[in-house]
Amino acid sequence: MVFQSSSSKATKEFAAKLAARALARGRGKSATIVTLAGELGAGKTTFVQGFYKGLGIKRVPNSPTFILMRRSALRGKAFKNVYHVDAYRIRAAKDMSVLGFEKFLANPENLFLIEWPERIAGILPKKTVALKFAHGKTPEERTIRVTGMK
């Protein structure tokens, strides 16, 4: 699926729809993982903000400059926790591995949104919903390519 976004508002609305779909689909055998790839400023965190709104979370995250991973609790939803990960500063997947990250990935109660997934590709499962963000011709245009969503 390819979504053409014309504004950050449109990106957030699209994200909220995907969040609703993720909740409707529910848990798998391990964590549900949404990866967000694309260059700096492509709109990954903007998408996360819309996604959180779609999950019913009031306080939406901004760019976690120094924060590697942040958890929010979900009440009465298919998932108990949503984690926002920004792996930009991770140099090797083993940096995450020492933190016991795989244990979180194994838990079906967890929903993950991961920016810069290529940094930790070595420890991510193959089965993810993969989003790829790209800038467009105008400053507000973005292309969001979605693969792996059933």
Ligand X SMILES: Nc1ncnc2c1ncn2[C@@H]1O[C@H](COP(=O)(O)OP(=O)(O)OP(=O)(O)O)[C@@H](O)[C@H]1O
Query: Does the footprint of ligand X cover residue 104 (CB under 6 A)?
Result: no
Residue nearest to Mg ion (CB): 45
Residue whose structure tokens are 């995907």: 18
Query: Does the footprint of ligand X cover residue 115 (CB under 6 A)?
Result: yes
Cβ-count burial 97-123 (b if 16+ within 10 Å, e if not):
eeeebeebbeeeebbbbbbbbebbeee
DSSP structural state of residue 38:
-
Query: Does the footprint of ligand X cover residue 41 (CB under 6 A)?
Result: yes
Q: CA 71, 147, 112 angle in degrees (round to 5)?
A: 10
Query: Does the footprint of Mg ion cover residue 44 (CB under 5 A)?
Result: yes
Bridging pattern class, strands 32-37 and 81-86: unpaired
Query: Out of 5, 32, 45, 128, which residue is the one contacting Mg ion (CB under 5 A)?
Result: 45
Query: Does the footprint of ligand X cover residue 35 (CB under 6 A)?
Result: no
Hey, what amino acid is at 93? A
Query: Does the footprint of Mg ion cover residue 8 (CB under 5 A)?
Result: no
Query: Does the footprint of ligand X cover residue 107 (CB under 6 A)?
Result: no
Count of CA atoms in the C-beta half-sphere (13 A) of 85: 24
Query: Does the footprint of ligand X cover residue 120 (CB under 6 A)?
Result: no
- Interacting residues with ligand X between 55 and 84 (CB under 6 A): 63
Q: Which residues bind ligand X (CB under 6 A)?
A: 5, 7-8, 10-11, 38, 40-46, 63, 115, 140, 142
Residue ranges binding Mg ion (CB under 5 A): 44-45, 63, 115
